[in-house]
């Protein structure tokens, strides 16, 4: 016999559905609004925190519903004050999220999937099995927990959120957009959409869908090569989403949203760091308004890539700037605790 938990995940309900539950319980409709506020504005992880509800109603809610709250399983502190967290989900799966403090901003890097299916050769998560998508509330909880951590450790709230943790956000499209809706809503965390960046390895049809859906947040593309042969080698997804297809999708996205795009470009020694690579990247940048973040490579045990030399990085950036490209060189944070870009892969159990 299969035994199932009949309790409903209360955060999966719309306000209207929640109101119907309360009506069926013989409760006033405003109680549903109170509970919804506790769940999303006040980030309650337990029904007992809902202090303006009667004890009897809280008991009834516990019998009917569950709050599948994400919990901090483990935290590591880097020498540069970055904090990497292993989060435990309701089904005991583990994911990672990172708090990145700098003098200018307090950034939460959140995951969108348990593992990843894309097998990018330079990324530790790509060597993991993709177990499942995260629900909107599980992404939202990461933001809440990292915000609490920022206030506790640095006396500052989050200023930015990047969907650059484990998983490919556009392969969990509906849940990612729902999480952003809750994070930005006035009856949610009320954060500005322009403070949120979603990073994709490049799925052309979903980039177009972001345009159709009038996405208000920022979009970043993990590019790492503006040459199909090289990109195929390190990012197998490029075989079905060529640079031509991506350029067309990005132009369509820009025509619908007028949002410039960020290209992320990791420099690998003697692979994509020559001036001819920079020339290909500059040509790709002509398609629409954009900026390029040149990212330091962070070694992982699964791959043999080496970070490029500093002189080559500077020359690469200088060439792009001469071509009129807006360029930033990003230094890694949290490398000593495997919290830097491309290093997230759950190790602690």
Let me know if residue 47 belongs to a domain.
Answer: yes
Residue 84 has pLDDT above 60, yes or no: yes
What pLDDT score was predicted for residue 5? Answer: 56
Check if 19 is active-site.
no
Number of domains in the chain: 2
State pLDDT tens for residues 151-204. Answer: 999 999 999 999 999 999 999 999 999 999 999 999 999 999 999 999 999 999
State pLDDT tens for residues 231-241. Answer: 999 999 999 99
Last residue of a domain, one of 46, 66, 86: 66
Q: Are residues 254 and 146 in the same domain?
A: yes
What values do phi and psi take at 326, rounded to 5? Answer: -80, 115
Residue 113 has pLDDT above 80, yes or no: yes
Let me know if residue 83 belongs to a domain.
Answer: yes
Q: Are residues 43 and 177 in the same domain?
A: no
What pLDDT score was predicted for residue 343? Answer: 46
CA of 67: how far to CAs of 8, 9, 10, 49, 284, in Å? 9, 6, 6, 12, 46
Residue 145 has pLDDT above 90, yes or no: yes
Q: Are residues 158 and 57 in the same domain?
A: no
DSSP 86-121: EEEPTTS-EEEEEEEE-SS-EEEE--SEES-SS--T
Last residue of a domain, one of 41, 66, 91: 66
Active-site residue (options: 109, 120, 123, 341): 341
pLDDT class of 333 with cuts at 50, 70, 90: low
Query: Residue 60, SS3?
Result: helix
Of the candidate ranges 32-36, 99-103, 149-153, 338-342, the one whose mean pLDDT is the lowest: 338-342
Q: Are residues 313 and 222 in the same domain?
A: yes
Q: Are residues 268 and 329 in the same domain?
A: yes
Query: Residue 327, SS3?
Result: strand
What pLDDT score was predicted for residue 121? Answer: 76
What pLDDT score was predicted for residue 348? Answer: 43
State pLDDT tens for residues 249-292. Answer: 999 999 999 999 999 999 999 999 999 999 999 999 999 999 99
Q: Are residues 75 and 49 in the same domain?
A: no
Q: Are residues 171 and 300 in the same domain?
A: yes
Residue 126 has pLDDT above 80, yes or no: no
pLDDT class of 338 with cuts at 50, 70, 90: low
Q: The domain spanning residue 35 has which CATH number?
A: 1.10.150.530
Residue 149 has pLDDT above 70, yes or no: yes
Range of the domain at 53: 8-66
Let me know if residue 345 belongs to a domain.
Answer: no
Q: Are residues 43 and 102 in the same domain?
A: no
Let me know if residue 122 belongs to a domain.
Answer: yes
Q: The domain spanning residue 242 has which CATH number?
A: 3.20.20.70
pLDDT class of 120 with cuts at 50, 70, 90: confident
What pLDDT score was predicted for residue 302? Answer: 67
Let me know if residue 34 belongs to a domain.
Answer: yes
Q: Are residues 178 and 30 in the same domain?
A: no
Q: Are residues 31 and 114 in the same domain?
A: no
Residue 61: Cβ-neighbour burial (10 angstroms; 0-12, 13-18, 19+): buried
pTM of the predicted structure, to 2 decimals = 0.91
pLDDT class of 45 with cuts at 50, 70, 90: very high
Last residue of a domain, one of 19, 48, 66: 66
Long-range contacts, 71-75 (Cβ 8 Å, 24+):
72/145, 73/348, 74/348, 75/149
Question: Percentage helix, strand, coil, to 5, in the chain?
Answer: 40, 20, 40
Q: Are residues 181 and 299 in the same domain?
A: yes
Check if 120 is active-site.
no
Active-site residue (options: 19, 96, 138, 264): 96
């Amino acid at each position: 016999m299969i035994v199932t938990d009949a309790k409903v995940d209360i955060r999966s309900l719309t306000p209207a559905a929640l109101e119907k539950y309360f009506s069926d319980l013989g409760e006033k409709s405003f109680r549903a609004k109170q509970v919804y506020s506790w769940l999303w504005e006040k980030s309650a992880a337990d029904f007992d925190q809902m202090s303006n509800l009667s004890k009897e109603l809280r008991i009834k809610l516990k019998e009917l519903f569950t709050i599948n709250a994400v919990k901090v399983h483990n935290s590591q502190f880097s020498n540069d004050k970055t904090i990497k967290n292993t989060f435990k989900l309701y089904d005991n799966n583990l994911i990672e999220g990172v708090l990145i403090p700098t003098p200018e901003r307090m950034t939460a890097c959140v995951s969108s999937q348990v593992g990843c299916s894309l097998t990018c050769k330079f990324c530790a998560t790509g060597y993991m099995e993709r177990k499942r998508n995260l629900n909107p509330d599980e992404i939202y909880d990461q933001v809440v927990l990292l915000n609490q951590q920022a206030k506790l450790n640095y006396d500052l709230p989050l200023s930015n959120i990047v969907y650059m943790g484990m998983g490919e956000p556009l392969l969990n499209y509906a849940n990612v957009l729902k999480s952003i809706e809750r994070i930005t809503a006035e009856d949610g965390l009320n954060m500005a959409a322009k403070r949120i960046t979603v990073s994709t390895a490049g799925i052309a049809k979903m980039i177009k869908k972001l345009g159709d859906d009038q996405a208000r947040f920022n979009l970043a593309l993990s590019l790492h090569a503006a040459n199909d042969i090289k990109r195929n080698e390190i990012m197998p997804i490029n075989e079905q989403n060529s640079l031509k297809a991506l350029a067309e999708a990005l132009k369509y996205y820009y025509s619908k949203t007028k949002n410039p795009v960020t290209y992320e470009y990791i420099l690998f020694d003697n692979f994509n760091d020559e001036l001819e690579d920079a020339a290909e990247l500059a040509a790709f940048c002509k398609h629409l308004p954009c900026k390029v973040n040149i990212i330091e490579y962070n070694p992982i045990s699964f791959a043999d890539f080496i970070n490029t030399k500093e002189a080559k990085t500077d020359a690469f950036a200088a060439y792009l700037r001469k071509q009129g490209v807006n360029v930033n060189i990003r230094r890694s944070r949290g490398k000593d605790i495997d919290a830097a870009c491309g290093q997230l892969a759950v190790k602690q159990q």
